[in-house]
């Protein structure tokens, strides 16, 4: 990423890996096909991390990364001194975050279990607390790949967005984007949408803020 010092990131080798002997991921609605997605670096996550790297750090601002996966954006913000909490529903996300924090000589940043799908009532993995409280900036990358997720995601954001909060979503032109727009609008969030055309990446930078705030 331009203007950002290198980070060392441990990831899965490829998208064919799967290991859920106790059925923890399955209980959370994570299938064998989607299991490895958390452990790969995706182009949208690089876009999100680059934007967070360029944002001035504000005292008192709380940032939540939603569906963080390998939490690249969270690590970038944490290294710059921002108050960042990473969240995901994958049972190995916290472990990879601890490893990658150590690889980069960083204190491990806060991690919380964050689930917004139909399985959101499932218990968090042992030793993990759920996302609680309000945040001033909520960020995520490539979150709209499941057809049935927009309503759950919008509700999750609504519950954790402080008054006047801003929401950043990097989206690689997923077809579920219009549905998510409608769900966010129904909860009082206005939208600014900008195209990203940085070959080979093509997508949208979606910025939401509650109307009238």
Round to whole Å and give the CA distance between 175 and 144: 8
Give 170-193 pLDDT, tens digit per residue: 999 999 999 999 999 999 999 999
DSSP calls for 89-142: S-TTHHHHHHHHHHHTT-PPPPEEE---STTTTSPPPTT-PBP-S-EEEEEEES
CATH fit for domain 37-210, picks 3.40.50.150, 3.40.640.10, 3.40.50.1360, 3.30.565.10: 3.40.50.150
Residue 4 confidence (pLDDT) above 70: no
Q: Shortest CA distance to 138 belongs to which of 158, 115, 110?
A: 158
Least confident of 10-14, 83-87, 148-152, 157-161: 148-152
Give yes or no for residue 148 having a pLDDT over 80.
no
Rounded Cα–Cα distance for residues 46 and 14 (Å): 17
What is the per-residue pLDDT across 18-47, written as a single tens digit (0 to 9) for each? 999 999 898 888 999 999 999 999 999 999
Question: Which residues are within 8 A (CB) of 58 and not within 5 positions of it... i.e. 6 or more apart?
Answer: 82, 136
pTM here is 0.93
- 50 φ, ψ (degrees, to nearest 5): -65, -40
pLDDT tens-digit series, residues 68-97 = 999 999 999 999 999 999 999 999 999 999
Rounded Cα distance between 115 and 202, Å, is 27
What is the pLDDT, as a whole number, of residue 147?
Answer: 80
Q: Between the CA atoms of 54, 55, 59 and 62, what dihedral angle is there, to the nearest 10 degrees?
A: -120
Written as six digits, the tokens of 12 are 């899965």
Confidence bin at 3 (pLDDT 50/70/90): low
């Amino acid at each position: 990423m331009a203007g950002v010092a290198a980070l060392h990131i441990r990831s899965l080798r490829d998208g064919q890996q799967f290991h859920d002997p106790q059925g923890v991921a399955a209980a959370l609605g994570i299938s064998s096909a989607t299991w490895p997605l958390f452990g790969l670096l995706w182009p949208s996550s690089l876009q999100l991390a680059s934007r967070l790297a360029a944002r001035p750090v504000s005292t008192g601002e709380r940032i939540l990364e939603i569906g963080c996966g390998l939490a690249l954006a969270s690590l970038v913000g944490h290294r710059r001194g921002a108050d960042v909490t990473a969240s995901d529903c994958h049972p190995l996300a916290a472990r990879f975050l601890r490893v990658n924090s150590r690889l980069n000589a960083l204190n491990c940043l806060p991690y919380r279990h964050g689930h917004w799908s139909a399985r959101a009532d499932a218990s968090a993995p042992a030793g993990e607390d759920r996302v609680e409280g309000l945040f001033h900036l909520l960020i995520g990358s490539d979150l709209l790949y499941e057809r049935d997720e927009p309503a759950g995601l919008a509700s999750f954001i609504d519950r954790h967005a402080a008054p006047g909060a801003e929401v950043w979503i990097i989206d690689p032109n997923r077809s579920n984007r219009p549905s998510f727009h409608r769900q966010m609008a129904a909860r009082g969030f206005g939208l600014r949408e900008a195209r990203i055309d940085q070959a080979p990446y093509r997508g949208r930078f979606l910025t939401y803020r509650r109307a009238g705030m």
